[in-house]
Amino acid sequence: MLTMASSPNGLTVRAPAKVNLTLRVLGTRPDGYHALESLVAGVTLFDTLHLALDDGMSLACSGAAAGADVPAGDANLVLRAARVLRETCGVGEGARLALEKHIPPGRGFGGGSSDAAAALVGLNALWDTGLGREELARLGATIGSDVPLFLGPPLAVMRGRGEEIEPARGRSSWHLVLAWPDFGLSTADVYAAYDRLPAKEDGGPSAADLLDRLDGLAREAKPFLVNDLEPAADSIRGARPGLRAVLEAAGAEAVGMTGSGSAYFAAADTEADARRWADAARSGGATTYLARLLGDGIEQQEISP
């Protein structure tokens, strides 16, 4: 779901956000991670990574989401991806990287993982290291569970700890309101909270159930937008504002939480509905973005609120 283009000084990679339209936790794995099944879609909210050859390695961040929550130095997944590729392929040269950050971190949009995937793809081209997508995905999985997702198509079913990607085909004309509060949630904390909650009963809708309905009306998808991590995210959020209630009070029916939160999305059949619900979420203190699902028909169209 990444797109790469050459630029005057090197390369530019557009790194989209993702939304987990469904997320089922199927159990705990021997390695301590959780086994998942999730229908995941790329959406039209992007970071942009600029890459140019250089002697050393450097990363500069700019953009609306480049605040204190975006780690600097080697804790940034972009630099970690660069180091992993350099060490794996014995690369001698470096790169000057500039990241325009619009995907807010800690909200469940996978921005850091998308940036890491963009770094792998961009540096693989810049340094001419010649790795295939599968090799890049294997390296990506060592950086974060979500990284391989971004090296695949814009719609996929994710399994395992997130690294098993099954491409999916689907068309949807939904308008998505993305809404996030002024606090993020740590993925590790949300999974730990999930383990403290009583085990849920098996059953409920699967990724395939929603996939069959992506081309239908958004409001009919309501029963299928399940995210098993939502009660865990709620338990950490405590009394801080929950966006599900705000979006539903404004009239949204198909509302879901993405990833481990704290962001929510609402699927609308018309842009007018989406704008109305976004207004309500902003009045409730959230930041919003109107997006579409990437994929057939809608490729790289960008819509802002």
Sites of contact with ligand C5P (CB under 6 A)? 33-34, 36, 144-146, 161-162, 187-188, 191
Residue number, 110 or 181, with CB nearest to ligand C5P: 110
For helices 77-89 and 133-143, give the axis angle rounded to 10 degrees.
130
Residue nearest to ligand C5P (CB): 145
In the bound complex, what is the minimum distance in angstroms from residue 85's beta carbon to ligand C5P? 18
Residue of 47, 101, 115, 146 marked catalytic: 146
**Shortest Cβ distance from residue 161 to ligand C5P (Å)?**
4
Each as own residue / partner, the long-range contacts of residues 231-235 (CB below 8 Å, 24 or more positions apart, any chain) are 231/194, 231/197, 232/190, 232/191, 232/193, 232/194, 232/196, 232/197, 232/260, 233/185, 233/190, 233/193, 233/257, 233/260, 233/261, 233/262, 235/193, 235/196, 235/197
Residue (256 or 259) nearer to ligand C5P, CB: 259
Phi, psi of 213 (to 5 degrees): -110, 5
User: C-alpha distances in angstroms, 209 versus 7, 56, 60, 167, 214?
Assistant: 42, 49, 42, 15, 9
Closest distance between ligand C5P and the C-beta of residue 64, in Å? 23
Q: Minimum distance between the CB of residue 241 and ligand C5P, rounded to whole angstroms? A: 24
Q: How far apart are CA 179 and CA 280, in angstroms?
A: 10
**Is 200 one of the catalytic residues?**
no
Comparing CB distances to ligand C5P, the nearer of 140 and 284 is 140
CB closer to ligand C5P out of 100 and 228? 228
Residue 14: strand pairing partners:
3, 48
- Among the listed residues 18, 101, 228, 273, the single catalytic one is 18
Whether the Cβ atoms of residue 237 and residue 262 lie closer than 8 Å to each other: yes
Q: How far is the CB of 112 from ligand C5P (least distance, A)?
A: 8
- Separation between Cα atoms, residue 3 and residue 29, nearest integer Å: 33
The residues, ordered by sequence, that sit 6+ positions from 169 with a Cβ below 8 Å of its Cβ are 155, 296
Q: Tell me whether residue 12 or residue 258 sits nearer to ligand C5P (CB atom).
A: 258
For the question of residue 18 being annotated catalytic, the response is: yes
Catalytic sites, residue numbers: 18, 146
